[in-house]
Amino acid sequence: MQGHSRQPTAAIAITLCLAAGAVSDAEATELGGSSYPIGVDTNFGGVMLSPGWHNLFYLNNYEASHLRDNSGGDNRALSHYHLQATTFAYRFSYVWPNIQVLGAQLETRGAIPIPSIDLDRVLASGANLSGSTTRQGDPSFSPLLLGWSNGGLHQIVGMEMILPLGSYDKTRPVNAGRNYWQFGPYYGVTWFPAAWAEASAKLRYGINQRNKDTGYKSGDEATLEFSVGYRFSPSTSLGLNGYIYRQATDDKVHGAVVNGNGNRGRANAFGPYVSHSFSKDFSVVLKMQDESNVRNRADGVRVWLQTRLDL
């Protein structure tokens, strides 16, 4: 979420690892997690901030009591499952002044997440594989993004890299880091068709690399994040947001397809949001996303508080 006095501005992707860490033969991607924080960039994802340095702060809570299998039912390998992950993240944004390429402004971004994860997980056999952690997650970095603005239409194109620098140990039941690189090209667009309306979408494709410690290569992940809202004033809007997540390729271990079907994950999510700019330097987005149609992943609810505060 970004904002200034004239219009809302973008909720830029940060990286936080909600490491679901469950039964590996029934979850999409390694241990069911994702390097990219799905749902972070539903609002104003095509709008680039004004030139200069900007500070963004994110608080996210994700809670799930179901781990879905390949058919969408509860995973029968488990007798109990509950995941709660609360993550704080800081992101910086620097929009380069007086420099343009192909008519676009240029921006550099980076983020550091700190997740606190509590996982209760008991197998049907009675084995307890629960755990918790509060450590640094994998940071993200976008060296150069291009942003165009033409009247009410705003667009951003770029590449986000997620670096395997978070806390990780393959013997732990829960990790804050993923221990592999991800490269995520994306396109974001925001449209203000009238003074009272706003709509945004961000299409991203996450290309996962192999975890060198386990030999596991999570499948690539496609996400479409979106929102549509009504603007009560230039500073306040209310609307609906959500995402569509699809795993595009199979999970593999040492080149072999996992579980015979690749453990491909999927999820949809939908919920309300409210956005308000208190001043040109301080703005807030509060939003909720309730998941449905989930396969091979945890099935839960995300709540976000996203702020921009330029000091």
Report helix, strand or coil for 27: coil
- Tens of pLDDT, residue by residue over 26-70, are 456 776 778 999 999 999 999 999 999 999 999 999 999 999 999
Q: Which strands make up the sheet holding 252-253, listed edge to edge?
A: 216-217, 252-253, 256-257
How does residue 1 score in pLDDT terms, banded at 50, 70 and 90? low
The one-letter code for the residue type at 304 is: W
- Rounded to an integer, what distance in angstroms lies between the CA atom of residue 145 and that of residue 201? 16
Report helix, strand or coil for 26: helix
Tokens of 244: 């569509």
Residue 244: which of 39, 66, 28 has the closest Cα?
39
Q: Which domains does the chain have, with CATH numbers?
A: 2-309 (2.40.160.40)
- Rounded to an integer, what distance in angstroms lies between the CA atom of residue 239 and that of residue 95? 28
The one-letter code for the residue type at 237 is: S
Q: Which residues contact 170 (CB under 8 A, 6 or more apart)?
A: 179, 213, 214
Asked if pLDDT for residue 195 goes beyond 60, the answer is yes
Report helix, strand or coil for 259: helix
Cα angle 61-74-180, degrees, rounded to a multiple of 5: 55
pLDDT of residue 30: 75
pTM, 2 dp: 0.89
What integer is the mean pLDDT of 207-219? 95
Report helix, strand or coil for 31: helix
Of all residues in the chain, what percent carry a pLDDT higher than 90?
81
Asked if pLDDT for residue 21 goes beyond 80, the answer is no
